Chain A
Amino acid sequence: MEFTKRYEQLNGKSQRIDLLTSIRVNTTKISAKKLIERLEKKGVTLGKVPFLENGYYIEKSKVSISALPEHLLGYYYIQEAASQIPAELLNITKKDIVLDCCAAPGSKTTQLAEKAKAVIALEPNEKRRVALLNNIERLGLKNVIVCDQDARTFKPKIKFNKILVDAPCSGNYVLEKGWFKKQSIKNFKTRAELQKQILENMINLLNKNGQLIYSTCSLEPEEDEMVIDWALENFEIKLEEIKTIGDKGIINPFGIRLNNEIPKTKRLWPYKTNTQGFFIAKLVKK
């Protein structure tokens, strides 16, 4: 498939970038100030990611940051900058019980747990759960329930005020070598069906005025704006404006006119934001 043309039609580019490694400070264990000082002594220089609360770029490092004692002690999580945005947009407080419906490997689960009263993390894949459980233990979080549960069929007795749907997606070219060769529109449409099934169940589990963040690391409208357009068409929800980096969501991908609210979503083109490709929408139940 010719992605160059496809992305040009979306007013974007498939331009490669050198993605900076970033981390998130686990403030339940250490302050950013102390971590910066400790890592500096080991030849690691951190630079603040301007659009994140606890996100830092690794500007210089003489060592592997995944093998440092501070990483193993749970003082930080190696997490790409764009991936840190969705959890921040839920404005979590200590009163919130948050549902994270596609949880492994746990970057966003652990990010939510730092601020929430409790996090319910759904992950049906046993292999993927290894990383999730590992990260919860390493970060020392005492308020996470991990469930062997598919998000599409989850039927709890309670509803939620805050839900994160970081949906399974086809990814993007920044994260994976040879990504363009592996992908097809058919793949995107298959993924979109799964994403809609998950989103439908999660909207049903949302309280009135409850907030839901839908995010993917895909740049394909079939998995992003078009999924949200479908949700706006079929459920009692509205979109809320998002204040973060990135472009407005595309209202007419490939000439298809979508809902007028779609520009309230955010689309992160790697060559513009210096992050991986990302899409975020904030839904509120009417």
Chain B
Amino acid sequence: MALQNKYSRVFHSKIGEKMINNFIAKFTKEKIPFIKVKIKYFLENKELEEISKQLNCKIISASLFLGEEEETFKPSLALLEILSKTSKEKVFLTDIGEIDFIYGRKKLSKRHIKSMQGKNRRKLVQNEYDENLGYCKVVDEINIKNILDCGDFLRREKKSKTCIN
């Protein structure tokens, strides 16, 4: 469903929607309802859609950001967290693994990995509490490659001015 008001040009690209649906399908059979604003996807929230129609201004985001279309679909960390609630495609890290992963280490090996589950090469990366830290590509049984980690929040924040207010 598209989020619309007269100031936001909204379009539906079936190719784009296929991209997000294919990505979700790699991790779970559950459907995640979403809306699309230009090239960005947000978790569906009907109340926000109704409110947005009353605002008369350019809407940048509404509800939780799930990802965006670039050359491929680029998921958000919020989407990975949602997927981790139902997915079985997971890698569990050790304490050291967790820290190395979120600080952006590209490759993780035996000492970082506690266990793996699922059959796909793309896996969600979890800490000891089964909390999502990002996702990765499995190289082999003892090596993974970092694709996206939650340290990204910090890296993005450093690019913009931080404020404690």
Contacts and interface: CB of A to CB of B under 8 A. Distances in A.
A212 B57 CA distance: 21
Interface in B28-63: 43, 45, 47-48, 51-52, 54-63
Interface stretch (B108-116, B137-145, B150-158): B150-158
Interface in B118-165: 127, 131, 133, 150-151, 153-154, 156-157, 159-165
B25 interface: no
B43 A73 contact: no
A263 B63 CA distance: 39
A149 B61 CA distance: 12
A79 B165 contact: yes
B154 A146 contact: no
Contacts of A157: 54-56
A130 B159 contact: yes
A136 B165 contact: no
A131 B161 contact: yes
A205 to B, nearest CB: 11
B162 A105 contact: yes
B81 interface: yes
Contact of B59 (A128, A147, A154, A166): A147
B153 A145 contact: no
A129 B65 CA distance: 14
B160 to A, nearest CB: 4
Contact of B78 (A67, A107, A118, A140): A140
A158 B64 contact: no
A147 B57 CA distance: 7
B76 A137 contact: yes
Interface string A140-174: 11111111110000111110000000100000000
Contact of B163 (A130, A131, A136, A156): A131
A127 to B, nearest CB: 6
Contacts of B127: 69
B89 interface: no
A80 interface: yes
Given A134-B153, A137-B76, A149 B165 contact: no
Interface residues of A, number: 44
Interface in B59-107: 59-65, 76-78, 81, 98-99, 102-103
B52 A105 contact: no
Given A120-B55, A140-B81, A145-B51, A134 B165 contact: no
Contacts of A72: 102, 133, 150-151, 153-154
Contacts of A136: 61, 64-65
A156 B60 contact: no
Contact of A156 (B55, B65, B156, B160): B55
A140 B61 CA distance: 13
Interface in A42-82: 66-67, 69, 72-73, 78-80
Given A137-B65, A137-B76, A137-B77, A154 B48 contact: no
A156 B55 CA distance: 4
Contacts of A79: 164-165
A169 B151 CA distance: 31
Contacts of B102: 69, 72
Contacts of A105: 160-163, 165
A26 interface: no
30 contacts: A69-B98, A69-B150, A72-B133, A72-B151, A72-B153, A83-B164, A83-B165, A107-B163, A118-B47, A120-B51, A129-B60, A131-B157, A131-B162, A136-B65, A137-B64, A137-B77, A138-B150, A140-B64, A143-B47, A143-B63, A144-B62, A145-B59, A145-B61, A147-B59, A149-B57, A154-B57, A155-B56, A157-B55, A157-B56, A175-B165
Given A133-B60, A145-B55, A157-B56, 17 more contacts: A69-B131, A72-B150, A72-B151, A72-B154, A105-B165, A122-B57, A128-B161, A131-B160, A131-B162, A143-B47, A144-B62, A145-B61, A145-B62, A147-B57, A157-B54, A158-B51, A166-B165
